[in-house]
Structure 1
Amino acid sequence: MWEIKLADGFTVSALGLGCSSMSHGYGPGDRDDEESAKVLHRAVDLGITLFDTADVYGPFTNEELLGRTLEPYRDRIRFATKCGLIARPDGNLTRNGRPEHLRAACEASLRRLRTDAIDLYQLHRIDPDVPLAETWGALGELVTEGKVRALGISHATTAELDLVHRVFPLTTAQYELSVWAPENGAEVLPWCRAHGVGFLAFAPIGRGFLSGKVSHDSLYTGDSRNRDPRFDLDAMQANEVILAGLRDVCARHGGAVTPSQVAIAWVLAQGPDVVPIPGTRRLRWLEENAAAAELRLTEEDMQQLDRLPSAIGEMRWDAVRPDGADLSRTARTTQD
């Protein structure tokens, strides 16, 4: 697989692998470590070098899975993990950006990932109770000490991106970006380009919706998508127009490609500094997703996809209570 050079020479494969679904969030049978290990091994074989995880995934079990499975390939891959969220016993998430917590979280992630340095350490959410410069300064110290090689952030405003980049250089920013959620491509991506920062695009297949293989009835009890307003029955029906547009593009390619591949190719077409990180825990979907790196969309394809509407059902990633617990409908189990 071809490679993409992001900020400061940080080079990764054209596609990364989002690993959160291997540990939680999608209903019964969330964990199948044997199958997940096969996916991770095969991802390396396919040339994928960026593996995205977080301490809160599981919690902790996702990092442990990656650590023990990918240890033999450590010199060929990059670990991207996250800090700043804590899973509470009631299922809610609390934000913690205090320097002492971040340092302890980093040490714990290093142990679980079985590595002496984290390639990309990302602030999962900004803690409104801690000055952002203080939080980011502590993360910068981890780079200076050699425990972290580069820093990233997720779900920050452009003003917050300005602040952290002044305190310590930012290497990547991670946000949702897809055909059904194109907004960050218009808002955050220009900032990243102006400052030489790479863009990691999570959920490029719309959390499975853009594959055309997810129905409202297929969502298990406990599936985090039940708390995503885009997966309400009426919203899913309205959002079928987006899926129809993807299928039109598939037809122009002779039916040799899938809606998922078209969706990933659209994200790749946003520029050479954009890396989609589709998540999967199944070998067949990994193979399909990886093949999207070779799909080249035509100008007609792009024009049609760019005219598609955004998804019905607003996502709220930034709602927060004074105690730091997320209020968004997806916050209980969606931790991207």
Structure 2
Amino acid sequence: MRYRTIGDTTVSAIGLGAMPLSIEHRPDEARAIATVHAALDAGITLIDTADSYHWHADETGHNELLIARALARYGGDTSDVLIATKGGRGRPGDGSWTVTGSPAHLKRAAEVSARRLGVDAIGLYQLHKPDPAVPWAESVGALRELLDAGVIRAAGISNVSTGQIREAHEILGDGLVSVQNRYSAAVRDGEPEVRLSARLGLAFLPWSPLGGISRSSLDGPSGQTSADTAFHHIAAEHGVSPQQVALAWLLARSPAVIPVPGASRPASVRDSARAATLRLSAEELTRLEAPGRPDASS
């Protein structure tokens, strides 16, 4: 396993996105816990969750509680595991997602999340998404209050623009340690946020980092799939999965990047963890610059 840093905390270069363990089509609890344990066995020390990762309306915090149970039942040392949770979104049970960024809601949500996780202070608490009905500075100000009160040890922001990153950094200073936006081989419009995060010393945690990579193909702009892509060719050359190549490509984009791929099976998280040791050459990285297109060298 390779390692990177979030603030002053060292974590595995690949994290576990725990959302699939609690939302629609989730596995049973035995397999979910086995997936978390497989991640820990593979050396993963970053687990990404949120209070809104649940399915039914009365299940708020399902994923946080699941992670807490999985850690409690693990036979090894978990003292170096960083649990990153999020607040500010909700799920009313009809498949939709809501946004609530009021300071009162965020402060209350963080306190409840800490109790679910069974911790005195949350290692990393992230504002899940800006609320258009609440001034950004007010939502971020709630994170400042949570830091000052010792409810959280570090703060992050998610689904944000470069302007929102700068403003949050001005308010939170060293208390802001991470940005979590969508970024993958197929969705690369987050480059400005990646570069800004690196300049400010913030970790960048891509969500949906395997977006566009299916079991056998990379989805192109047309929605069609084909295994005739650079990702699949390079995977075959290394004898690994195309998902590993996609994660290794992300790691090569910036030392600030720490992907958090989701998993709902032990085999999936083990495969993702192996991407941390996959080194891509400069020539291979050049071949990967055209997402979803046939490998020009073939």
**RMSD value over aligned CA atoms?**
2.1
Match of 2:264 in 1: 281
Query: Cα deviation per residue 1:284-326 (whole Å; 9 max; x = unaligned)?
Result: 111111111111111111001013359xxxxxxxxxxxxxxxx
Q: Note the C-alpha offset of 1:212.
A: 2.7
- Do the aligned partners of residues 247 and 90 (structure 1) sit closer, same or farther apart at CA in structure 2, a change above 3 Å counting? closer
Q: Note the C-alpha offset of 1:20.
A: 0.1
For the Cα contact (< 8 Å) 1:202–1:277, is it kept in 2?
yes
The SS at the match of 2:255 is coil
The SS at the match of 1:210 is coil
Which TM-score applies when normalising by structure 1? 0.79
The SS at the match of 1:236 is coil
Match of 2:296 in 1: none
- Aligned counterparts of 2:85 and 2:222: Cα–Cα separation in 1: 32
Q: Note the C-alpha offset of 1:187.
A: 1.6
- Aligned counterparts of 1:45 and 1:196: Cα–Cα separation in 2: 29
Match of 1:251 in 2: 236
Q: What amino acid does structure 1 have at the position aligned with 2:232?
A: R
- Aligned partner (choices 118, 121, 126) of residue 122 of structure 1: 126
The SS at the match of 1:191 is helix
For the Cα contact (< 8 Å) 2:198–2:255, is it kept in 1?
no
Q: Note the C-alpha offset of 1:213.
A: 4.3
- Aligned counterparts of 1:240 and 1:60: Cα–Cα separation in 2: 38
Q: Note the C-alpha offset of 1:84.
A: 0.6
Alignment of 1:1-336 (within 5 A): 1-7=1-7, 9-25=8-24, 27=25, 30-58=26-54, 59-71=60-72, 73-169=77-173, 170-184=176-190, 186-206=191-211, 209-213=212-216, 235-237=222-224, 239-240=225-226, 244-253=229-238, 256-308=239-291
Q: Note the C-alpha offset of 1:51.
A: 0.3
- Aligned counterparts of 2:6 and 2:108: Cα–Cα separation in 1: 28
- Aligned counterparts of 1:109 and 1:82: Cα–Cα separation in 2: 9
Q: Note the C-alpha offset of 1:204.
A: 1.6
Identity %, equivalent residues: 37
Q: What amino acid does structure 1 have at the position aligned with 2:51?
A: D
Q: Note the C-alpha offset of 1:277.
A: 0.6
Q: What amino acid does structure 1 have at the position aligned with 2:185?
A: V
Q: What amino acid does structure 2 have at the position aligned with 1:247?
A: H
- Aligned counterparts of 2:266 and 2:130: Cα–Cα separation in 1: 34
Q: Note the C-alpha offset of 1:44.
A: 1.3
For the Cα contact (< 8 Å) 1:133–1:164, is it kept in 2?
yes
- Aligned counterparts of 2:217 and 2:111: Cα–Cα separation in 1: 38
* Count of aligned pairs: 283
Q: Note the C-alpha offset of 1:74.
A: 4.5
Task: Identify, as 1 or 2, the structure richer in helix.
Answer: 1
Q: Note the C-alpha offset of 1:94.
A: 2.0
Q: Note the C-alpha offset of 1:70.
A: 1.1
The SS at the match of 1:4 is strand
Query: Cα deviation per residue 1:224-246 (whole Å; 9 max; x = unaligned)?
Result: xxxxxx79xx9431x537x6221
Q: Note the C-alpha offset of 1:42.
A: 1.9
Query: Cα deviation per residue 1:65-87 (whole Å; 9 max; x = unaligned)?
Result: 00111136542211100001121
- Aligned counterparts of 2:66 and 2:193: Cα–Cα separation in 1: 32
- Aligned counterparts of 2:203 and 2:78: Cα–Cα separation in 1: 22
- Runs of 5+ in structure 1 lacking a partner? 216-229, 311-336
Q: Note the C-alpha offset of 1:105.
A: 0.5
- Aligned counterparts of 2:27 and 2:61: Cα–Cα separation in 1: 13
Q: What amino acid does structure 2 have at the position aligned with 1:240?
A: S
For the Cα contact (< 8 Å) 1:211–1:258, is it kept in 2?
no
Q: What amino acid does structure 1 have at the position aligned with 2:231?
A: L
Q: What amino acid does structure 1 have at the position aligned with 2:249?
A: W
Q: What amino acid does structure 2 have at the position aligned with 1:11?
A: T
- Runs of 5+ in structure 2 lacking a partner? 55-59, 294-298
- Aligned counterparts of 1:45 and 1:265: Cα–Cα separation in 2: 20
